[in-house]
Amino acid sequence: MAETKLTPQDFAPLHSEREVQSLSRPSLSYWQDAWIRLKANRRALISLYIVIFLLAFTVVGPWFWTIDPSTIDPDQISQPPGANREVVVTAPYEPWSIDSIVVPASGMALVGEPTTQSIRMAWAPMPGAFGYRVYRNHFPVEPGKALGLPLVNILNPDETWFEDRLNLKAQDYYYAVVATDATGNRISDPVSVDVLPERVITAEEAIRRGIASAEEPPAIGTPLKMKLHPLGTDYLGRDMLSRLMHGARVSLFIGIFAPFAYVILGIAYGAIAGFLGGIIDQFMMRFADFVVALPFLLFMIVFKLAFSVGAGESGIFAMLIAMIVLLWPGTARLVRGQILQIREEGYVSAAKLMGANTNYLVLRHMIPNTMGVILVTLTFAVPSAIFTEAFLSFIGMGVAPPTPSWGSMCNEGIKTMLTTPHELLFPAALISITVLVFNLLGDGLRDALDARMRSRE
Amino acid sequence: MDTASGSSSVLRQLGLYALLTIVGIALLMWAMSWIASVTGSAERTQTAIDPETRSASFLLGDEPPQLDSSKATDALSGMVLGHVMEGLLAYNENNQLTAGVAERWDIRERGATFWLRRDAKWSNGEPITAHDFVYSWRLAVDPANSSQYAFLLYAVKNGEAITQGKMPLESLGVTAIDDYTLEVEFENSTAYFGKLVAFSTYYPINEKFHKSVKDRFGADADTLLYSGPYMIENWVHGASLKMVRNPHYWNPGRGGLDIIDFPYITSDPNARLNLFKDGKIAIAGLSAENLGEAIDRRWQMNAFAEGVVFYIEFNHRPGRVTGNRHLRRAMQLVNDPAELVYKVTKLPGYLPGKSLFPVWVQGVNGFFRQEYPAPEAPVNIEQARWHLEQAKQELGLDEIPPLILLTGDNPLSTLQSEYYQDRFKRTLGLDVRIDKQIFKQRLEKMTAGEFDMVMAGWGPDFDDPLTFGDLFASWNEQNRGKYASSELDAQVRIAQRSVDTQERMDAFGEIQRILFEDAVILPGYERGIVYVVDERLEGVVRRAVGPDPDYTFARIREGS
């Protein structure tokens, strides 16, 4: 039997070998963990990038694209993106002097060069006419077919000329003239002429629009390019890109700031009511019911008066206050319900027994566990706030013209939806994208922040 | 998780959602149309033209606000009244003044006599007598009735004094000599009196009937007695109105329609266009947005000058900067109606405004505007800026405060007000704030003077330049900016009292000059209307003065 030799070292305490039992990955804080889970969610991540892009578009965009959003360009009204911008410099408009008119022997003929400034035409007098009516069409004139847009009724048989200046574009026009009797009924077959006018601009206007320099006024006949509008122009020839950037300021400000403000107010209110419970809870929730019952629109008007917002002034600030003051009870109710539920959970009781104080309980256990509900509320609140802004701007209580917002741009664009769809499509697409990314981001955030899903694969 | 499969699953999910949404919407629309077809089957099928019953359907833009002819002021009520009522004189299909209830008349310098036709009857078969006119004219000036259009009867002796309560009703200068002779005394000589009596305020009202229905007069189809070619058979407020031939009308051969139906009351231009496309109504006005569609569908369009002038009116009340002539001149010199009409409004039939008097107003021999050309101010920005500087000096201001531009809430007003806002900002650096209001509210603000500038319009009540000429007389209620000029007032008095056409037209020429030189208004445009008519219908009369449109001469084309 071998003898065991013991040395004092053998009686030294063992090193604690905690490493063996430690977790296989580093400890993560709540937020780090949430971030990891958010990063794993591609939808949410892409949405986050789009939100960042939208904010950059709003804040940084106007530094790069410096065109004023309220400058009207009457020569480029309702231009779609990528429209032809070629233009030729011409002399300033001179009224047509009656003496210079040469009436053709038969039929109808153009007088002078047809341009988008004016198209002048004259025709041979027609027997028996009391007057004439001139039409303009987009299709060749055919017997028995409609003649198009009636431009003018001339009530003088000797006035056999007409100058068209109405909204001329560089496209084919087919003019027709018919003789009329005393009551305006058509009494002859049409005589017609077709035209392709040249797009022109006067030197003065070219300088004013900034496409030619004032020091060297362009000579007549110089080809120029109209101002570039990458996303086209609206119904008054204002740059769409610039308006979208500036409109985003209002829409995103209201759409993000107002919901955050009233959701935070609602969380605080709901958490207090739910945590304290009892008579105070009853009292606070009845007050919330009272606020729900207040009519939003009426309050908007009252706030406008209270802040003495006059006619034609922006009501954005009043709108923000009204939204914060009136829209918090929804969140407050949800949060209170959740808190009431969580208050009874075992881990809260455990924490209480371990001596956690109220602040710790609310901030560490209750609020994070209601995060799912809160984020759902918030993501729904953002689009609804954007739409509220759009609606209020429409009834004249939001932004004052010429300040744009996405909502007011939609309302204006919808009138010309069939002819110039880009005026509606761009702001509508931006609203849709914003709403979608906030929803997807909110979805991802809810999953990421939900304490119960923590560290689950 | 595999990233590639992750992104494709996201796409698949999105695609699925999109598909579900589209299918859902399609199902919903199908279900709704099915419900509509089930519930709507009880209604009669509506067509624009029905040759069998000789009926035609049209659309009313709004509910007629006032069918009491002594009180009606608006064009829509005037249109409905023009179909169911007839005054002493009336307009025919060529827009000329012809005999109505009166078969003969004689207008002298100090008075007039009307001989009524003996076969003119009310829709209950009772004869229309001179007493009915005496009663209705007294009603119009009765202070207790407080008609806004009482001023139209100021031409009749003591009319103004009675309205102000200074004289009894019986002193009004109109008497029934017998049942069929009406004698009128003028306050001042009134050369255009024949044109006045065609207007709705001068229509007859049956005393017995009026007293029997009391306050309900004109409120419903059965609380009106009709003197015109048609009568209202059925009137559902806010929804529909139906007119049928008046069996007692003295001229049963007038027009070819037995039923004039207004089954829809809506002001929505898209609804209007869709109703026309579906063959539910026979006439539809077109707005700028749907002109392109009308061209592409190759509809035969008509245009006519409606006779209404639009302009910016300034507020001349003390304390308003727009009371300064230099400021107004500056704005006049940058105002470019041609650009407004041809590039911004873009509607055919619109004419750039040059004057308060529209182009169709008659002068001495021809058109007034050809005999008295409107003075013009070509755009001159430099001179405008000089005037602006003068204005600032006179007002003692470094900067002109923001100007309130009061305007209507329809798309066209919005467009134009934003154009003006940019125009004044860009050329003069003036800040303009747009105050958009509904019609009623705008009228209230105009009357109260809560504006610097207002986009206003004026349509003629009777066919004489005076209907425009007295608009800016200092005593006129419609002078919303309270412009007051003794020079202009004097010219209005001449135009009202003179019987010499030359002298009157000279006065109107002077009024036109004063309005221009004092820059009282900024002319905008003269409105035109573009509309489409069902091919089977002919003879619909459009006119600037009088009921418009007038269907009482319309016929359904043979063979349709």
The answer to whether position A9 is within a domain reads no
Among candidate residues A201, A226, A259, the one where a domain is terminated? A201
Inter-residue contact B314 to B328 (CB < 8 Å): yes
Q: How far is B368 from chain A (nearest CA, A)?
A: 14
The answer to whether position B91 is within a domain reads yes
Mean pLDDT of B175-180: 91
Residue A306: predicted pLDDT: 79
Angle at which helices A367-394 and A406-413 cross, to 10°: 40
Among candidate residues A201, A221, A250, the one where a domain is terminated? A201
- The answer to whether B432 contacts chain A (CB < 8 Å) is yes
Q: Are residues B434 and B541 in the same domain?
A: no
Terminal CA-to-CA distance of chain B, rounded, Å?
Answer: 72
DSSP state letter for A256: I
The answer to whether position A343 is within a domain reads yes
Angle at which helices A367-394 and A240-252 cross, to 10°: 130
Q: CATH number, domain at B189?
A: 3.90.76.10
Read off the pLDDT of residues A235-246 as tens digits, 9 standing for 90 and up. Answer: 888 889 999 998
Residue B1: predicted pLDDT: 43
- Enumerate chain A positions whose Cβ falls within 8 A of a Cβ in B: 40, 42-43, 70-72, 74-75, 77, 136-139, 145-153, 165-168, 182-184, 235-236, 310-313, 396, 400-402, 412, 415-416, 418-419
What residue type is assigned to position A247 of the chain? G
The answer to whether position B153 is within a domain reads yes
| Enclosing domain of residue A115 | 90-201
Could you write out the DSSP letters of every residue in B311-358? EEEE--STT-GGG-HHHHHHHHHH--HHHIIIIII--TT-EE--SSS-
Q: Tell me the pLDDT band of A308, cut-offs 50, 70 and 90.
A: low
Beta-bridge partner residues of B384: none
Among candidate residues A201, A219, A250, the one where a domain is terminated? A201
Q: Is the pLDDT of residue A26 over 70?
A: no
Q: CATH number, domain at B378?
A: 3.10.105.10
Q: Is the pLDDT of residue A257 over 70?
A: yes
Inter-residue contact B179 to B144 (CB < 8 Å): no
Q: Are residues B230 and B338 in the same domain?
A: no
Q: Is the pLDDT of residue A303 over 50?
A: yes
Mean pLDDT of B336-350: 86
Mean pLDDT of A394-418: 79
Cβ of A149 within 8 Å of Cβ of B530? The answer is yes
Q: Are residues B525 and B549 in the same domain?
A: no
The answer to whether position A166 is within a domain reads yes
Q: Are residues A194 and A317 in the same domain?
A: no
Taking the CA atoms of chain A, what radius of gyration do you get in angstroms?
A: 36
Q: How many domains does chain A have?
A: 2
Write out chain B residues lying below 8 Å of A137, CB-based.
295
Q: Are residues B367 and B419 in the same domain?
A: yes
Read off the pLDDT of residues B280-326 as tens digits, 9 standing for 90 and up. Answer: 999 998 887 778 788 888 888 888 888 889 999 999 998 899 999 99
Question: Do you find a cis peptide bond into B549, omega within 30 degrees of 0?
Answer: yes
* Percent of chain B's residues with pLDDT above 90: 38
Residue B40: predicted pLDDT: 57
Cβ of B432 within 8 Å of Cβ of A312? The answer is yes
* Percent of chain A's residues with pLDDT above 70: 93
Q: Tell me the pLDDT band of B42, cut-offs 50, 70 and 90.
A: very low
* Percent of chain A's residues with pLDDT above 90: 7
Q: Which residues does B222 contact at the CB level (< 8 Å), separation at least 6?
A: none
Cβ of A184 within 8 Å of Cβ of B304? The answer is yes
Q: Are residues A125 and A247 in the same domain?
A: no
**Which of A204, A151, A206, A157 is closest to A180 using CA atoms?**
A157
Question: How many residues in chain B?
Answer: 560
The answer to whether position A258 is within a domain reads yes
Q: How far is A148 from chain B (nearest CA, A)?
A: 6
Q: Which of A10-24, B4-18, B337-351, B483-497 has the lowest mean pLDDT?
A: A10-24
Inter-residue contact A255 to A434 (CB < 8 Å): yes
The answer to whether position B294 is within a domain reads no
Q: Which of A3-17, A344-358, B532-546 has the lowest mean pLDDT?
A: A3-17
Q: How far is B45 from chain A (nearest CA, A)?
A: 29
Cβ of B421 within 8 Å of Cβ of A236? The answer is no
- The answer to whether B346 contacts chain A (CB < 8 Å) is yes
Return d(Cα A15, Cα B281) in angstroms, integer. Answer: 99
Q: Is the pLDDT of residue A256 over 90?
A: no
Residue A311: predicted pLDDT: 65
Pairing of strands B403-407, B453-458: parallel
Helix (H, G, I), strand (E, B) or coil at A142: coil
Q: Which of A205-219, A247-261, B62-76 has the lowest mean pLDDT?
A: A205-219
Nearest CA in chain A to B10: A43
Helix (H) or strand (E) holding B326: helix B325-334
Q: Are residues A104 and A245 in the same domain?
A: no
The answer to whether position A208 is within a domain reads no
Q: Tell me the pLDDT band of B7, cut-offs 50, 70 and 90.
A: low
- Averaging pLDDT over each range in A384-398, B124-138, B253-267, which range is the top one? B124-138
Q: Which of residues 365-404 of B touch A (CB under 8 A)?
A: 402, 404
Cβ of B418 within 8 Å of Cβ of A310? The answer is no
Q: Tell me the pLDDT band of A426, cut-offs 50, 70 and 90.
A: very high
- The answer to whether B414 contacts chain A (CB < 8 Å) is yes
Pairing of strands B181-185, B111-116: antiparallel
**Which of B534, B61, B545, B66 is closest to B257 using CA atoms?**
B534
Q: How far is B347 from chain A (nearest CA, A)?
A: 8
Q: Tell me the pLDDT band of B96, cut-offs 50, 70 and 90.
A: confident
Nearest CA in chain B to A174: B295
Average pLDDT, chain B: 87
- The answer to whether B341 contacts chain A (CB < 8 Å) is yes
Q: Tell me the pLDDT band of B133, cut-offs 50, 70 and 90.
A: very high
Q: Is the pLDDT of residue B57 over 70?
A: yes
Cβ of B303 within 8 Å of Cβ of A152? The answer is yes
Write out chain B residues lying below 8 Å of A402, CB-based.
418, 421-422
From the list A137, A150, A165, the residue facing B303 with the nearest CB is A150
The answer to whether position B142 is within a domain reads yes
Q: Residue holding tokens 């039992």?
A: A21
Q: Are residues A168 and A294 in the same domain?
A: no
The answer to whether position A37 is within a domain reads no
Q: How far is A214 from chain B (nearest CA, A)?
A: 16
Q: Are residues A58 and A164 in the same domain?
A: no
Cβ of B94 within 8 Å of Cβ of A182? The answer is yes
Q: Are residues B321 and B206 in the same domain?
A: no
Q: Are residues B380 and B235 in the same domain?
A: no
Q: Is the pLDDT of residue A203 over 60?
A: yes
Return d(Cα B113, Cα B133) in angstroms, integer. Answer: 13
Return d(Cα A108, Cα A405) in angstroms, integer. Answer: 48
Q: Are residues A165 and A261 in the same domain?
A: no
Residue B507: predicted pLDDT: 93
The answer to whether position B354 is within a domain reads yes
Q: Tell me the pLDDT band of A20, cut-offs 50, 70 and 90.
A: low
Return d(Cα A180, Cα A131) in angstroms, integer. Answer: 5
Cβ of B433 within 8 Å of Cβ of A312? The answer is yes
Write out chain B residues lying below 8 Å of A71, CB-based.
422, 426
The answer to whether position A25 is within a domain reads no
Q: Are residues B114 and B208 in the same domain?
A: yes
Q: How far is B378 from chain A (nearest CA, A)?
A: 11
The answer to whether position B287 is within a domain reads no
Question: What is the spatial order of strands in the sheet that B111-116 belongs to?
Answer: B102-107, B111-116, B181-185, B174-178
Pairing of strands B453-458, B181-185: unpaired
Q: Are residues B203 and B312 in the same domain?
A: no
Q: Are residues B259 and B378 in the same domain?
A: no
Task: Select from B21, B268, B300 the residue whose CB has the most chain A CBs within 10 Å, as the one to mutate to test that interface.
Answer: B300
Q: Are residues B246 and B312 in the same domain?
A: no
Residue B3: predicted pLDDT: 46
The answer to whether position B105 is within a domain reads yes
The answer to whether position B172 is within a domain reads yes
Q: CATH number, domain at A52?
A: 1.10.3720.10
Residue B486: predicted pLDDT: 92
Q: How many domains does chain B have?
A: 2
Angle at which helices A240-252 and A406-413 cross, to 10°: 130
Q: How many CB atoms lie within 10 A of CB B43?
A: 8
Q: Are residues B324 and B420 in the same domain?
A: yes
DSSP state letter for A188: S
Q: How far is A94 from chain B (nearest CA, A)?
A: 11
Q: Are residues A255 and A148 in the same domain?
A: no
Residue A457: predicted pLDDT: 42
What residue type is assigned to position A66 of the chain? T
Cβ of B289 within 8 Å of Cβ of A40? The answer is no
Q: Is the pLDDT of residue B64 over 70?
A: yes
Cβ of B7 within 8 Å of Cβ of A235? The answer is no
Q: CATH number, domain at A176?
A: 2.60.40.10
Write out chain A residues lying below 8 Å of B402, CB-based.
312
Taking the CA atoms of chain B, what radius of gyration do you get in angstroms?
A: 27
| Enclosing domain of residue B344 | 305-529
Residue B314: predicted pLDDT: 94
Q: Is the pLDDT of residue A57 over 70?
A: yes
Q: Are residues A320 and A253 in the same domain?
A: yes
Q: How far is A185 from chain B (nearest CA, A)?
A: 9
Q: Are residues A279 and A378 in the same domain?
A: yes
Cβ of B409 within 8 Å of Cβ of A396? The answer is yes
Residue B2: predicted pLDDT: 45
Q: Are residues B453 and B476 in the same domain?
A: yes
Q: Is the pLDDT of residue B374 over 60?
A: yes
